[in-house]
Amino acid sequence: MPSEKEFITLLNQHQKIVHKVCNLYMDRHSDREDLFQEVTLQAWKAYGNFRGDAKFSTWLYRVALNTAITFFRKEKRQPDIYSTDNVPEQSEEEQGPVEEQVKAMYAAIGELSKIDKAIVMLYLEDYSYNEIGDMMGITANNVAVKMNRIKTKLKESTQQQMAN
């Protein structure tokens, strides 16, 4: 029987992972909260089978991404795309070119498919192509091909956003 206290402590230490996934997959604040709750519940249900072969963070990524990819809102009032509204507002003096580029890139990532978002998420966390492949259930070569396509898509999309 897994210890609830132990799980809560571990999840609290790694909650940034869940927040990252929720921020990446959900546009609205209420949807993020729902997804956070769902990931927490799914992680708790699966925790009994966590044997510690992998790091807790890697395992939590897998659970969180599985939950986020299969999580669809029944009543969808708006498309699941990432708007630049998610990024905290800053004054024009504060908003340097780097900040603007981050904002544009952030919005561009939001327009990717659920699968591409998961790959980008893991790439941003410095997982190797082999590790990403293991988590996604595809080969490292496939990850590399997809990552190249994603980079091209993001570059084009970011340039377009910056031009507007």
Partner 1 sequence: MDLDELKHQLRNKLATDHAGMSDADIAALLTKKTDSVIGRIKRNLRIEIICSIAVILGFGAVGIFSGYSSLRIYFSVFAVVCIFFLILLIYLLRRTTRLSSTALPVRGNLQTIVHIIEEFTKRYFQFTMALVPICFVFSLWLGLSEKQQDAGGNGFDFRHYIVRWQAVSLLVAYMAALGVGVYFFTKWYLKKQFGRYVGLLKECIKELGE
Binding site for partner 1 (CB under 8 A): 4, 8-9, 11-12, 15-16, 19-20, 22-24, 32, 34, 36-38, 40-42, 44-46, 48-50, 59, 62-63, 65-67, 69-72, 86-88, 98, 101-102, 105-106, 109, 113-116, 118, 120, 123-125, 134-138, 142, 150-151, 154-155
The helix (run of H) or strand (run of E) holding residue 103 is helix 97-110
Tokens of 102: 């981050």
- Only one residue has tokens 């571990």, namely 10
DSSP 116-163: HHHHHHHHHTT--HHHHHHHHTS-HHHHHHHHHHHHHHHHHHHHHHHH
Tokens of 83: 């708007």
- Is the CB of 93 or the CB of 156 nearer to partner 1? 156
| Integer Cα distance of 133 and 163 in angstroms | 34
- Is the CB of 62 or the CB of 129 nearer to partner 1? 62
- Is the CB of 49 or the CB of 164 nearer to partner 1? 49
Cβ at position 29, least distance to partner 1 in Å: 10
| Integer Cα distance of 57 and 65 in angstroms | 12
- Is the CB of 12 or the CB of 164 nearer to partner 1? 12
| Integer Cα distance of 79 and 14 in angstroms | 29
Tokens of 92: 């024009």
Cβ at position 58, least distance to partner 1 in Å: 10
Cβ at position 88, least distance to partner 1 in Å: 7
Cβ at position 72, least distance to partner 1 in Å: 6
- Is the CB of 86 or the CB of 92 nearer to partner 1? 86
